[in-house]
Chain A
Amino acid sequence: MKVDCEKLCPEWPCEQPEEFKNVWVLIEAFEGFISEPSLQMLTSGRKIADKLGEKLVGVLVGYRVSGFAEEIIKHGADEVIVVDDPGLETYYPRVYAHVIVSLARKYKPSVILAPATKRGRELAPYIANTLKAGITADCTDFDVDESTKDVLLIRPPFAAILLAFIKTPFRRPQIGTARPNVFPIPPRDEGRKGEVMYENVDVKLEDKMKLLSRKKLHRAEVGVEKAEVIVSGGRGLGSPEGFKLLENLAELLDGVVGASRKAVDAGWIEEYRQIGQTGRAVKSILYFAIGISGAAQHMIGVREAGRIIAVNIDPEAPIFTQSDYGIIGDYKEIIPALIEELKKLKEEGPKALEKYKST
Chain B
Amino acid sequence: MRIAVGIKWVPNTQAVRFDPETGTLIRKGIPSIVNPHDLPAIEMALRLRDAVGGEVIAFTMAPPPAVKGLELALGMGVDRAILITDRVFAGADTLATSYVLANAISKVEREYGKVDLVVFGQETIDSSTAHIPGQVASWLDWPYVYYVKDIQVLGDGRIRVVRELEDYIEEYEIELPAVLGIAVRALKPRPVSLYNKLRAKLNKDTIVVWGNSELKLDPRCVGLKGSPTIVAKTIDMPEVPRKKEVYKPRDPRDAARWIVSKIVEDEKLRELLVKKLWGG
Binding site for B on A (CB under 8 A): 7-12, 93-94, 97, 117-119, 121-126, 128-130, 132-138, 145, 152-153, 156-171, 206-217, 219, 228-229, 252-255, 271-272, 277-278, 285-286, 296, 299-300, 303, 306-309, 311, 315, 320-329, 333-334, 336-338, 340-342, 345-346, 349-350, 353, 356-359
Contacts and interface: CB of A to CB of B under 8 A. Distances in A.
B172 A129 contact: no
Nearest to A300: B237
B144 A126 contact: yes
A329 B269 contact: no
Contacts of B268: 285, 306-307
Given A7-B220, A93-B144, A337 B255 contact: yes
A168 B232 CA distance: 9
A298 to B, nearest CB: 12
B138 to A, nearest CB: 4
Contacts of A217: 164, 167-169
Nearest to B278: A350
Interface string B116-149: 0000000101111111111101110011111100
A206 to B, nearest CB: 7
A129 B256 contact: no
A235 B60 CA distance: 33
Interface in B200-227: 218, 220-221, 225-227
B274 A350 contact: yes
Contacts of A124: 134
Given A156-B237, A278-B128, A324-B244, A254 B135 contact: no
Nearest to A267: B185
A300 B238 CA distance: 11
Given A126-B135, A209-B174, A326 B228 contact: no
B255 A338 contact: yes
Nearest to B176: A208
B237 A162 contact: yes
Centre residue among B98, B129, B134, B181 by max chain A CB count within 10 A:
B134
B98 A129 contact: yes
A126 B138 contact: yes
Contact of A159 (B16, B94, B169, B178): B16
Interface of B: 11, 13-14, 16, 25, 93-95, 98-99, 123, 125-135, 137-139, 142-147, 160, 164-175, 178, 181, 184-185, 218, 220-221, 225-240, 242-249, 252-253, 255-266, 268-270, 272-274, 276-278, 280
A346 B184 contact: no
Contact of B137 (A126, A308, A321): A126
A337 B227 CA distance: 57
A227 B16 CA distance: 32
A309 B244 CA distance: 10
A228 B225 CA distance: 47
Given A119-B165, A346-B278, A333 B252 contact: yes
B135 A129 contact: yes
Nearest to A303: B240
Contacts of B228: 12, 132-134, 168, 170-171
A9 B220 contact: yes
B173 A286 contact: no
Given A10-B218, A129-B139, A216 B168 contact: yes
A325 B95 contact: no
- 7 shortest interchain CB distances as A-B pairs: A134-B228, A159-B13, A337-B252, A125-B134, A134-B229, A129-B138, A9-B221
28 contacts: A10-B218, A93-B144, A117-B166, A122-B144, A125-B129, A134-B229, A135-B229, A136-B129, A137-B131, A161-B13, A162-B25, A163-B236, A163-B238, A209-B175, A252-B276, A253-B273, A278-B123, A286-B263, A299-B240, A303-B240, A307-B243, A326-B245, A334-B249, A336-B252, A340-B256, A342-B260, A350-B277, A356-B260
Given A118-B146, A160-B237, A163-B236, A359 B258 contact: yes
